[in-house]
Structure 1
């Protein structure tokens, strides 16, 4: 089961209305910036549909191993996105990391 691949998921709600242009711009920026980081595989932007969950969206991505995951976390593009967009526009979130 554990071949080292990590699936990282961040589920979140934004400060903007769900169907606003600000939300669409945030989701586009997240996909454009984060999926361009070389160690990121299978990046997806997801929309929550369950009434049981308080979050509206998700980013899902995979990394080949722990080293790749750490490289992503330390990558200047990721750090800038978190500082400039995530920290200012996200109202709440949960991160989940699975090994498969």
Structure 2
């Protein structure tokens, strides 16, 4: 299995409503994209986050499923919305679970 972890930073104009919409949209990816085993998304509460405000973890069946995820139209819709509402930085980690 593959674990995909993403942290998101936004500019000061990104509203809490827009962040809630990101969470709502991200949760639907599990139903729309094949190969996702589990998905969790939420608002950071840690002071150790270095400014990353939202976190996303997606567990995939295998690397091939991760490769399908990136260009999938539903994922790209979310990426477009993130940019539209003020995404300034992301941190991505992908690793295999043994």
Alignment of 1:33-48 (within 5 A): 34-36=29-31, 37-48=33-44
1:91 equivalenced with 2:82 (yes/no): no
- Give the CA RMSD over aligned residues: 1.6
Q: Distance in 1 between matches of 2:42 and 2:20?
A: 12
Q: Distance in 2 between matches of 1:45 and 1:57?
A: 7
Query: TM-score, normalized by length of structure 2?
Result: 0.81
Runs of 4+ in 1 over 4 A off after TM superposition: none
1:59 equivalenced with 2:18 (yes/no): no
Query: TM-score, normalized by length of structure 1?
Result: 0.79
1:7 equivalenced with 2:17 (yes/no): no
Deviation string 1:64-94 (CA, Å, 9 cap, x unpaired) is 1111110111212112321x21222322210
SS at match of 1:24: helix
Q: Number of aligned pairs?
A: 92
- Give 1:28 deviation, angstroms: 0.7
